[in-house]
Structure 1
């Protein structure tokens, strides 16, 4: 049985991690966001904001981590594997910031395709900033647009998840798997 790779993505503060954690509690296999690990590792190396200091190195580390996660699906026996963000998030963010990047980024996104992509919209009611999330809500809305465009550029039929309770959002995702 081939494991379906399902991405849950969205701008900062849209509830991705909350949904991933709840899906995991319900027994689904989930792979967690790697960017916070990259940020914390850079901070231990003395770089407070790696993305702002060296956006390409930050993006290379994200790409590496997400490629590793993508390949982990080969070792799963379950029918579904949920990802907190996918490879196209890397290029979408670089596009948003106007960062020039090499073909390896786009090639990685084209060569490693997910089965289904769910995009969470910006939602003011739940949005919070923290030490690793330095974008404001207006920026989060623009990032949402960049993510939608980014995934569509790689040929994905992106499914927009409506706002609502965690249970309602999970039900929407599970009912709309392709």
Structure 2
């Protein structure tokens, strides 16, 4: 059975850096839906961008996260997700009042221990793909944290450490070792 581990939390909290470092160690990862959508929309001239049409962006993120889960269902033993279904569901609940039962389904599809990256001012920067402010990122984090608590999941708070120490923390917390015989460059993107 696959252990789907969700890494979520504050924008700029180091989630993508952590995911990429875990991939380099040979762990199977799924990149953030939102960043993939932004890249697709920019390439196609689309408008499902958070700063143009947030609802369309969130619905696309929800569908992409569901597809990611379906595609990774038989992978083993562990898959790390950079954001995912929960993030889109929280956004849709906040923006459009869509209940979790419609977005998450009857069973939470990830492990009951969720990694949360807290707000880290020194790590946050606005980019062309991340145009919201640190204050908005903190509000987003509070909403996600509240949803994780409401779902009765255990929160694993990502410590404010350098990336090597964060990877070691995650591997230790989840009892993982570097997978043997895996070529990390072939496992970065599903």
Sort the TM-score into its range (normalised by shorter chain). 0.7 to 0.9
Contact between 1:14 and 1:127, CA under 8 Å: does it hold in 2? yes
Q: Distance in 1 between matches of 2:89 and 2:2?
A: 25
Cα 1:106/1:112, change in 2 over 3 Å: closer
Alignment: residue pair count: 173
Instruction: Please identify runs of 4+ aligned residues in structure 1 that moved more than 6 A.
Output: none
Contact between 1:10 and 1:121, CA under 8 Å: does it hold in 2? yes
CA offset digits 1:36-65 (Å, max 9, x no partner) = 221232334434563344333222211111
* Structure (1 or 2) with the greater helix fraction: 1
Partner of 1:70, secondary structure, is helix
- Structure 2 residue aligned with 1:124: 121
Q: Distance in 1 between matches of 2:38 and 2:11?
A: 15
- Structure 2 residue aligned with 1:114: 110
Of the candidates 77, 80, 91, which is equivalent to residue 79 of structure 1? 77
TM-score, normalized by length of structure 2?
A: 0.81
Partner of 2:8, secondary structure, is strand
- Structure 2 residue aligned with 1:12: 11
CA offset digits 1:152-174 (Å, max 9, x no partner) = 22231121111111111112212
Partner of 1:68, secondary structure, is helix
Unaligned runs of 5+ in 1: none
Q: Distance in 2 between matches of 1:154 and 1:52?
A: 29
- Structure 2 residue aligned with 1:165: 162
Q: Does 1:31 align with 2:30?
A: yes
- Structure 1 residue aligned with 2:187: none
Aligned-pair RMSD on alpha carbons?
A: 2.0
- Structure 2 residue aligned with 1:89: 87
TM-score, normalized by length of structure 1?
A: 0.86
CA offset digits 1:4-48 (Å, max 9, x no partner) = 111111121111110000000001011111112212323344345
